[in-house]
Amino acid sequence: MFRNSLKLLSRPLTSFTRSVPLSNPHSRQNYARYLSNSRIMATWKNLIRFIAEEDGQEHLGDIDRSQYPDVGLAIHDGKPVTARVINGSAFDGIVTDKVLTVSRLLCPLPTSAVPIIRCLGLNYRDHAKETKMPIPDVPILFIKPRTALTGSHPSKIVIPKAVQDGTSDYEAELTIVISKTGKDIPEEKALEYVLGYTAGNDVSSRRSQFENSQWSYSKGFDASAPIGPVIVREGTVDPHNLGIKAIYNGQTVQDSNTKEMIFSVQHTVSFLSRGTTLEAGTVIMTGTPPGIGAMREPKIILGDGDDIRVWIEGIGTLVNKVHYEK
């Protein structure tokens, strides 16, 4: 296993991806098993995925936060950004001394590496109160398919024709990425299964949401789950004490702290793994604080061309324009 792992790490990311066709369910299982069993630890702290200016190829890179405290804003503002290339995957990659320039920032995880997006609802007390719903005793769960995944600027949030009904909404969320496959994970070991954290926006169609007893349809459209701009390694930040904001066309519309979450990261990971295999690469959105557009007066609706941003302390700013599908 160790010899094979070293061979994998010596390949560029594109070669590694081609060698493990994740669209094949058997290959997916083998890859998840490999991640679960691998003893090689990633050395990065602030991971991005990008197209390099020098060669036009896709790479993973480690950002120097002292140089780029908010890579999402830097990219949006057209500032030059460089990163040290990571050989391997997000789960086992080793940072090299090779430095490349970011031409285009991508979603930090490719869709092929994400088995599912699992989401919590009403995980902030004040958000439950603003929606006039009871504070939950257990996590309220729904899913988004991995096809909902997209990244930060220049990637866009897409509102499909089916729900261009004037009820599209934002939800700023701390987002967890799972590092290795597990089942029945005890809370005291849950952080061992966390790769890191990123910012997420649980874009929702409120009319569709409130017309149904379940939320997956209204929240599962393509490009409705932007995450980024970086994945910050677990242990680098305290996920239970991070400022979190949503900024709509320059106006702060959500402003809270993750210490207000009802269910901790450890409880969430443990709960989601009860009797259910939690696969490596799973993305978990942990719920949104108060201030969603549907509960404001006047209401805020995500319109074509609007600018919506999610800022999380220690992670940076997820920046997206809204695009109405033609």
Measured distance CA(120)–CA(123) in Å, rounded = 6
Q: In whole angstroms, how far apart are CA 243 and each of 128, 229, 291, 317?
A: 19, 16, 14, 12
CA 249, 255, 259: angle at the middle one, nearest 5? Answer: 150
Burial class, 36, CB count within 10 angstroms (exposed 0-12 / middle 13-18 / buried 19+): middle
The encoded tokens of residue 38 equal 């691998």
End-to-end Cα distance, the chain: 49
Locus of tokens 């789960």: 91
List Cβ neighbours of 288 (8 Å cut-off, separation of 6 or more). Answer: 123, 124, 127, 171, 172, 173, 202, 254
Measured distance CA(60)–CA(46) in Å, rounded = 10
Measured distance CA(223)–CA(226) in Å, rounded = 7
Which H or E run includes 268? helix 265-272
Longest dimension (CA), the chain: 61
pLDDT in tens, 35-60: 444 444 558 999 999 999 999 999 99
Q: Are strands 194-201 and 225-233 parallel, antiparallel or unpaired?
A: antiparallel
pLDDT for the residue 325: 98
pLDDT for the residue 215: 86
pLDDT for the residue 29: 53
At 287, the amino acid letter reads G
List Cβ neighbours of 235 (8 Å cut-off, separation of 6 or more). Answer: 191
pLDDT for the residue 158: 98
Measured distance CA(109)–CA(131) in Å, rounded = 32
Q: Are 187 and 265 in contact (CB under 8 A)?
A: no
Number of residues written out for the chain: 326
pLDDT lower than 50: segments of the chain: 1-28, 31-40
**pTM of structure:** 0.87
In b/e form, how buried is each residue of 236-267, taking b as 16+ CB within 10 angstroms? ebebeebebbbbbeeeebbebebebbbbbbbe
SS3 category, 43: coil
CB atoms closer than 10 angstroms to residue 69:
12
Q: Are strands 58-62 and 82-87 parallel, antiparallel or unpaired?
A: antiparallel
Question: Strand pairing partners for 172?
Answer: 201
In b/e form, how buried is each residue of 95-105, taking b as 16+ CB within 10 angstroms? beeeebebebb
